Structure 1
Amino acid sequence: MAPPQASKRDVVWADGLRGVASVLVVTAHLSRSLGPHLLSPAMSDKLPPTLFQLPFIRCLVMGRASVAAFALLAGYVNSLKPIKLSRAGNADAALSTVAKSSFRRTGRFVMPAVIATICSWLVCQFGGYKVAHAADSAWIRDTSPDPSTSFAAAFYDLFQNLGTTWLDGYNAYDRIQWTLTYLLKGSMMTYLTLFATVYVKPKWRIFILIALYYFNWKGGDALIGFNVYCGMILAELTVDPDVQSFAAKHYLARSVASSILIIIGLFFISFPEENQSWTRWSAFLLRLGDYIFPTGVEIARYYPGLGANILILGIMFNDTAKRIMSHSFLCWMGKLSFPIYLLHAPLIRTVLTWVLFGASVRPSQGKDQDGKELPPGWLPITNRWVCFIAIPMFYIFLYRVANLWATHVDPFCGRVTNWFEELVFRDDAKATEQKPLLMT
């Protein structure tokens, strides 16, 4: 069997995995907002574990692991081409690729986020979150902003949140955009490392990347740091002929080992964010974390990151898993991952909330001891069966809107970025036509 060579499939399976991760982000936020209405809310150390307290099944609602996967895939995809060029002895082309990609990344990453924030801001100012403010869902209420007090204040609030999104990760109009500044930082870490090591011999570059992985591991950067460098290490392994030749010669051992890695990765990803002592398996991982993680770090962030590292390593060396992740439907979902990430939370707080809570009547809370009328209670969900119909329809609607976004908004952002490149780049470094932005 010939050694598997780095090819288009090396990016295709990453697209499919990114598509799966984007779905899991949506599922995680739906579980936070509607879980108590659809699932048994009885969770305690005195009761048997519920369905989503079990390992592996819990992966379906683990949003932190998806963010870690996005960071890892950013390091993998963004470094794959420059590493190939560097290994081929074409360092000048590798430097050109890094310079152009780092310049484009900001425009193609920031502009869609700004447009999404403006859309959410308009919805907020025109009362689109009014139902969300009264819905019987703590997550929906807490993430739904209030309209500004005046016309001038509305624009002040908008520009303030556009700035704080990239300064400290706070965006009142879309709370989940806090991850974007870290993902952009991860891309820049990738480009800076490639720039510094483009002339380094491949084996020594792998050694440097392992050292940087360990440095970020010990430094407590579980969200972006070691995940990005893991992606870069995997990119090196993808194009390293010795590694690929060894893997090809030991097909059976590789298949078994990669399958075990996938299982271990999913098990680690299942680690809950809180109340880890309520079930035996999570209590075991909690004790294990005291030995394998640095002292004083947040174990609930390290396990999803480590699990994502191990899972993706297993997928990369498992032909069946790569073939599944390369399915055209998953790849299509992956190409919509960034629009999905930007749009799903505002649409949950508006369209889905209107459907599930909009037809309800706020119950009366009666009167207090002094005879004064108490504020009405939260809007109850219309009907549990409506949820089972509305949620699948919501996914279809969400992907339809995301497809429209990818068709019209992303190309617009690309044209603006290309125009700015033409304006500021030297004549001997004009940008070439680029693909639409993926969630990398």
Structure 2
Amino acid sequence: MLRSLLPSFIADCVFPDHKQTWKVHPTSYLDGLRGIASVIVFFCHYTEENFRPLTRAYGVDDDGLSGWIQLPFVRMIFSGRPMVHIFFVISGFVLSYKPIKAIHARDLDKCYTALASSTFRRAFRLFGPCVASTFIIMVLCQLGYLYHPHTSWSAQFWNWENVMFHQLTWPWEWDHDLRPGYDIHLWTIPIEFAHSMLLFMVILMFSRVRLRIRQAMVFGLMVYCLTCGKWAGFEFLAGLFLAEVHILQSAQPKDWESSDPIYHQEKWSAISTVKPLLHLFLVILGLFIGGWPNNDADKTSGIRYFLEQTPMPFAKMDKLAPQKFWFGLSAVFTVWSVGELPFLKRFFEGSLAQYCGRVSYAVYICHGPVLGYFQKRVLGADYIPATGEPGTPDFKQAIAAAGIKGILGATTVTQKTMSWFVGLCILGPIVIWVADIFWRAIDNPVVSIGRKFENACLDDTEPSPRAMGYSPAA
């Protein structure tokens, strides 16, 4: 019981005999990138809900005061919106990797088996942990610990059931933000599921097509999605395209294996100089675009240029559409470039990033309700003086200072930044702790249940001779 209640990295130190080992595979850096991205999403929601002035772009505040944390690149610490787009590109890459690798090995049976298995288990993987987490939230709501309870347990349950069927597991809106009840942050899950199915269908459709034709068609579908304003479809298909590029690069012969070493040495020298600089530039550009502010993009230096260059239909769809277009492009180039830069790849294959990758889905699921319960209690509020005349309808009593904001203040930019940091140091470990327990107690078992259920449903009987076209007489 003690081990199950401790975070896994602490439990591994206390109980080293039960420590689980983890292997690094060719795409482990993507797990690390997804893990760091999920932590940034948590930082984003924490900042937007408690320190919204810090999310403004540097230099565009009404009072003319800005803090260093609002500077370009630095603000990526809490820029969670572009991380969603990185999630989708990584999903497209990882879900495509095994079937595409089987296609290159000329093993279509293995490809079709991988596609069938992934399609069968995808709903378990995505919806199972969310159903469990929202059910727990529903119980906590009715007990009075979170949000607002309904009049009765039955009313609360049927409200939760409606959210499950018409928001959380509702894949028919493609890329619409359904803002599901109980945990609004799970709006990406039905989008993830719908586009996973689209991805599997595209792989199946092109599984018997020649390589160059398949790449051209996938690229054409990516462009088509952009011209239709479907950013999520573009990102998933871009992940498929990058997965095939990765497999092709892994299969290329080394330069020292060439019969003409002098020519290839000169060629490799030129490429080795330009290629890392190109990928480093793409990562830096992605970090800059990732700092796109939620408001006042038209007043933000640099970002204003990208806003003006946004093509149709993203330029006129809605207020957030321009940033989705640029976030999608930068996510594709970032995922591609991280795999091409050894120092970044090593970082995301490191123990910290890999741990974040293992608990990434749990962090994404758990951070909302954890913040909902703890953030007001921990952060409190700065002193607010009374307003109006006593005895008049517009009179409001003074609110006493409390919590971290009451101790450090939340008036100046420096006070807000210090309160933000201290609050994060307290709430961050709580979110990771809860997510770690959820990962081991619910997330991992749901994956195992999905695998076992698939195995139990498989038809492994031998086909009859009549089904194969043989007659008894033959």
The TM tier, using the shorter chain, reads 0.7 to 0.9
Which amino acid is the alignment partner of residue 451 of structure 2? N
TM-score by length of 1: 0.83
Do structure 1's residue 416 and structure 2's residue 449 form an aligned pair? yes
> Which position in structure 2 is the counterpart of 1:406?
439
CA contact (8 A) 2:89 2:235 kept: yes
CA deviations over 1:60-106 (Å, ceiling 9, x no partner):
22222111000000000111111111011001111100100111111
Q: Provide the C-alpha distance between the structure 2 equivalents of 1:293 and 1:371, rounded to a whole number of angstroms.
A: 52
Which of 138, 144, 148 in structure 2 is aligned with 1:121?
A: 138
Q: Cα offset for 1:378?
A: 7.5
Q: Where do residues 289-328 of structure 1 align in structure 2 (5 Å cutoff)? A: 289-290=310-311, 295-297=315-317, 298-328=321-351
- C-alpha separation between the residues in 2 aligned to 1:173 and 1:260? 40
Which residue matches 1:132?
none
Partner in structure 2 of residue 180 of structure 1 = 189
* CA separation of 1:107 and 1:253: change in aligned 2, threshold 3 A: same
In the aligned structure 2, how far is the partner of 1:380 from the partner of 1:246? 65
Whole-angstrom CA distance in 2 between matches of 1:270 and 1:240? 33
SS at match of 2:302: helix
Q: Which amino acid aligns with 2:205?
A: A
Question: Which one of 212, 229, 247 corresponds to residue 203 of structure 1?
Answer: 212
CA contact (8 A) 1:293 1:299 kept: no
Per the alignment, residue 280 of structure 1 pairs with 301
The structure-2 alpha-carbon separation of the partners of 1:92 and 1:37, relative to structure 1 and needing over 3 Å to count, comes to same
- Per-residue deviation at 1:183? 1.2
Matches within 5 A, 1:64-143: 64-129=81-146
**Preserved CA contact (<8 Å) 1:293 1:302:** no
Alpha-carbon distance between aligned partners in 1 of 2:387 and 2:62, rounded to the nearest angstrom: 32
Pairwise CA distance, 1:43: 4.3
Please state how far the C-alpha of 1:424 moved relative to its aligned partner: 2.5
Q: Which deviates the most, 106-115 or 301-310?
A: 301-310
Q: Is the 8 A contact 1:269 1:305 kept in 2?
A: no
Q: Match of 1:219?
A: 228
Change in CA separation of 1:219 and 1:246 when aligned onto 2, cut-off 3 Å:
farther
Opposite residue 87 of structure 1, the aligned amino acid is H
Cα 1:375/1:413, change in 2 over 3 Å: farther
Aligned amino acid, residue 120 of structure 1: I
Per mean C-alpha deviation after superposition, the further-off stretch among 334-343 and 152-161 is 152-161
Kindly provide the amino acid, as one letter, of the partner of residue 337 in structure 1: S
Out of 26, 29, 36, which is 2:42 matched to? 26
SS at match of 1:68: helix
Give 1:31-70 correspondences, 5 Å limit. 31-36=47-52, 43-44=60-61, 47=64, 50-70=67-87
In structure 1, distance between residues paired with 2:217 and 2:145? 50
Match of 2:368 in 1: 345
- Secondary structure of 2:27's counterpart equals helix
Identity of aligned residues (%): 24
SS at match of 1:47: coil
Kindly state the Cα deviation for residue 51 of structure 1 after the two structures are TM-superposed. 3.1
Following the alignment from structure 2 to structure 1, what is the Cα–Cα distance between the partners of residues 298 and 421? 32
Q: Where do 5+ consecutive residues of structure 1 fail to align?
A: 1-6, 130-144, 430-440
Shift of 1:263: 1.2
SS of residue paired to 1:427: coil
Identify if the C-alpha distance between structure 1 residues 375 and 428 changes in structure 2 by more than 3 Å, giving closer, same or farther.
Answer: farther
* In the alignment, structure 1 residue 240 sits paired with structure 2 residue 257: no
Q: Larger RCO: Structure 1 or Structure 2 (Cα < 8 Å, ≥ 6 residues apart)?
A: 1
Select the structure of larger CA radius of gyration.
Answer: 2
Match of 2:236 in 1: 228
Q: What residue in structure 2 maps to residue 135 of structure 1? A: none
Aligned pairs for 1:326-405 within 5 A:
326-357=349-380, 371-372=392-393, 382-384=403-405, 385=408, 388-405=421-438
Secondary structure class of the residue paired with 2:316: coil
Q: Which amino acid aligns with 1:225?
A: G
CA distance in structure 1 between the partners assigned to 2:295 and 2:253 by the alignment: 43
Contact kept? 1:254, 1:318, Cα under 8 Å:
no
Contact kept in structure 2, 1:18 and 1:69, CA below 8 Å: yes
| Shift of residue 352, structure 1, vs aligned partner | 2.7
1:315–1:322 Cα contact (<8 Å) kept: yes
Contact 1:270 1:304 in 2 (8 A): no
Query: Is the 8 Å Cα contact of residues 289 and 326 (structure 2) preserved in structure 1?
Result: yes
Shift of the alpha carbon at 1:282? 1.9
Separation in structure 2 between the aligned mates of residue 122 and residue 397 of structure 1, nearest angstrom: 20
Which residue, 156, 170, 195 being the options, matches 1:154? 156
Q: Is the 8 A contact 1:272 1:300 kept in 2?
A: no
Deviation at 1:334, TM superposition (A): 0.6
- Matching of residue 166 in structure 1 with residue 186 in structure 2: no
Preserved contact between residue 68 and residue 227 of structure 1 (Cα < 8 Å):
yes
The one-letter amino acid of 2:111's match is A
Contact 1:74 1:186 in 2 (8 A): no
SS at match of 1:274: coil
Runs of 4+ in 1 over 4 A off after TM superposition: 36-43, 241-248, 292-295, 359-368, 372-381
Cα shift readout 1:327-380 (whole Å, capped 9, x = no counterpart): 1210110111100000001100102322223x9999766668x74485768886
Query: How many Å separate the matches in 1 of 2:400 and 2:243?
Result: 50
CA–CA distance in structure 2, aligned partners of residues 10 and 379 of structure 1: 55
CA distance in structure 1 between the partners assigned to 2:307 and 2:206 by the alignment: 37
Closer/same/farther in 2, CA of residues 128 and 371 from structure 1, 3 Å limit = same
TM-score by length of 2: 0.77
